[in-house]
Amino acid sequence: MNFDKNFKARINTAKDVTILTGAGVSAESGIATFRDPDGLWSKFNPAELASIDGFLANTELVWSWYRHRVSIIENTSPNPGHYAIAEIQKLIKSFNLITQNVDRLHQRAGSENVIELHGNIVNNHCFDCGDIFEGNTSLLNNILPKCVSCGGRIRPDVVWFGEMLPQQAIKKAEIAAIKADIFFIVGTSSEVYPAANLPIIAKQNGAFVVEVNPKQTAISNYMDYCIRETSAVAFPQILEFIKTTL
Ligand code: BV8
Ligand code: ZN
């Protein structure tokens, strides 16, 4: 890939790199995105499924949707994009990986200290007493998983629409955006807030902002550089270029 000369110059001098990812980074692992034509939201109404009201009103439907997603994730693997991002972390002294994804494929590819803005689909907790249930235990085999401590409703550890993001995660993400010399936005439509504010914060604080996405998005015109490639194609080549600068 023939990278833009400004990008190459910025990579050469960058001390601090942050990558923000969305569902697109897992697409080449076979996990559907949300808003692409064949995406998850094309079949379901997000407000109905990814919200507290939706969960309380359609608990069985929401659980069948999450069980479906868990079974897909359990049968997929990280792709070359995930692995290249994990390798880049080892080469850059000050590096942050922020993800909107709940599939934990970054962690399975070796990325460490991943900042999860929207929680994860691997763990669950009791909606009523807060007890934590690590991993997708056999509890999930029941149509309506019940808490063993209080008999309450168990829910996935994800952040639903209308719910605050984990305070520590969003704080760390904002600090990473402020400090970044280069801020990559990968595989996200940049339609969900407050995550979609992060590239803006990065640019306002002097970062060179790079979008890696085969399609145009809501913030493409605000980018310093757009790599119109999939992440599994682009990131192994970005990794190779970074190695030449060390
Ligand atoms: C909150 C649940 C306080 C987990 C999700 C302003 C400020 C704050 C909040 C808001 C605001 N305006 C509106 C709100 C409310 C709301 C919001 O943002 N609504 C949107 C729809 C307008 N935000 C919230 O409710 C957040 N909470 O702020 O609380 C509050 C509340 C209300 C009002 C004010 C304040 C909570 C947000 C989290 C919601 N949870 N999911 C789950 O079940 O998964 S969101 C869901 O969308 C996923 O988590 C996902 O991560 C996220 C973003 O989607 P993307 O990852 O971008 O995926 P998408 O399909 O959209 O795009 C994929 C992209 O990849 C495409 O561009 C495609 O071209 C590209 N692509 C495809 N293949 C590839 C590729 N790229 C690279 N390589 C490829 N191979
Ligand atoms: Zn309970």
- Which among 67, 7, 58 has a CA at the least distance from the CA of 209? 7
- The highest-confidence range among 11-15, 51-55, 121-125, 211-215, by mean pLDDT, is 211-215
Structural domain total, the chain: 1
Q: How far is CA 110 from CA 44, 183, 242, in A?
A: 32, 20, 18
The protein residue with its alpha carbon nearest to ligand 1, atom 40, reads: 160
Whole-structure pTM value: 0.95
User: Residue 103's pLDDT is what?
Assistant: 97
User: Residue 138's pLDDT is what?
Assistant: 61
Give the pLDDT band (50/70/90) at residue 106.
very high
Residue 51, in any domain of the structure: no
Residue 155, in any domain of the structure: no
Residue 49, in any domain of the structure: no
- Per-residue pLDDT averaged across 37-41, rounded? 74
Residue 228, in any domain of the structure: yes
Q: How far is the CA of 133 from the centre of ligand 2 (A)?
A: 10
Residue 87, in any domain of the structure: yes
Residue 42, in any domain of the structure: no
Known catalytic residue at 82: no
Res 46 pLDDT > 80: no
User: Residue 97's pLDDT is what?
Assistant: 98
Q: Which ligand is nearest to the CA of 42?
A: 1
User: Residue 82's pLDDT is what?
Assistant: 98
User: Residue 28's pLDDT is what?
Assistant: 97
- Read off the pLDDT of residues 182-196 as tens digits, 9 standing for 90 and up: 999 999 999 999 999
CATH number assigned to the domain comprising residue 115: 3.40.50.1220
- Read off the pLDDT of residues 158-174 as tens digits, 9 standing for 90 and up: 999 999 999 999 999 99
CA 119, 75, 106, 82: dihedral to nearest 10 degrees? -140
- Read off the pLDDT of residues 217-234 as tens digits, 9 standing for 90 and up: 999 999 999 999 999 999
- Which among 6, 22, 3 has a CA at the least distance from the CA of 190? 22
Q: How far is the CA of 140 from the centre of ligand 2 (A)?
A: 14
Residue 111, in any domain of the structure: yes
Could you list the residue range(s) of the whole structural domain that residue 245 is in? 1-31+78-122+161-246
